[in-house]
Amino acid sequence: MNEAFKQILSNMKKEYLAQINYIGVDVNDEERFSWAENRHLSFEMYHLFHKNMYPSDKTLVYLILARLSKEDSLQIIDLEKKTHSFEFEQLTVNEYLPYLISKHLVQKSEEIVPASVDILYTAPPFGSSPYDFNALTQRFAEKEYKTTQKELTA
C-alpha cells in the first residue's frame, strides 16, 4: 500500500473514531463498532462506470466496502470497463453490490461490514478531496450506530 493510501486510511480511521465520540458512544460500548477497539478493516474501493451528463463531467464513482481484517488496508479495484454496459447503467445505486456479486466481480463474504457499503462520487485525481473520505467515514459510523441501536432496543 502506497503512502498516499496509508494517509487516506489513517485519516479515515481518525474521522471514524471522532464521529463515534461525537455521537456520544461510551468507551465501554465500542464493541459494537467494527473499526473501534484496535480492530482492523480492509477497505475495497471498486471504480465503476459512470455515464457523464456532459462532456466536462469527470466524476469518478466508487463502490466502497470494508471487510474484517488482521490489518487496516485500502485497495482500489478498477471495474470501469467491466461495468460499462447498458445493463449496469439501468441499475440503481442499491443494486450495484448485488449485481457485482452476481457477476463474480466482488466476492460475497460474511466478513463484509454491511454499514460500510457506500458510494463515493469524487473528482479526479483520486484522493484529492479529503472531505469525500471524511463524509464517507462519518456516514459509516452513523450507519453502524443506528443499526446497532435498533438491535439493542428491539
Among 64-68, 97-101, 135-139, the minimum mean pLDDT is found in 135-139
Angle between helices 3-23 and 130-153 (to 10 degrees): 40
Decide: 145 and 22 in contact? Cβ < 8 Å: no
Give the residue-averaged pLDDT of 15-20: 95
Tell me how far CA of residue 45 lies from CA of 32, 48, 148, in angstroms: 24, 9, 24
Decide: 100 and 46 in contact? Cβ < 8 Å: yes
In the chain, how long is the greatest CA-to-CA distance? 51
Per residue in 63-97, pLDDT (tens digit) is 999 999 999 999 999 999 999 999 999 999 999 99
pTM: 0.89
pLDDT, residue 128, reads 62
Block residue for cell numbers 466478513: 111
pLDDT, residue 53, reads 67
Q: What is the CA radius of gyration of the chain?
A: 16
Asked whether the predicted pLDDT for residue 122 surpasses 70, the reply is yes
Count Cβ atoms within 10 A of the Cβ of residue 105 and give its class: 0-12 exposed, 13-18 middle, 19 or more buried: middle
pLDDT, residue 90, reads 94
Q: Mean pLDDT across the chain, nearest whole number?
A: 89
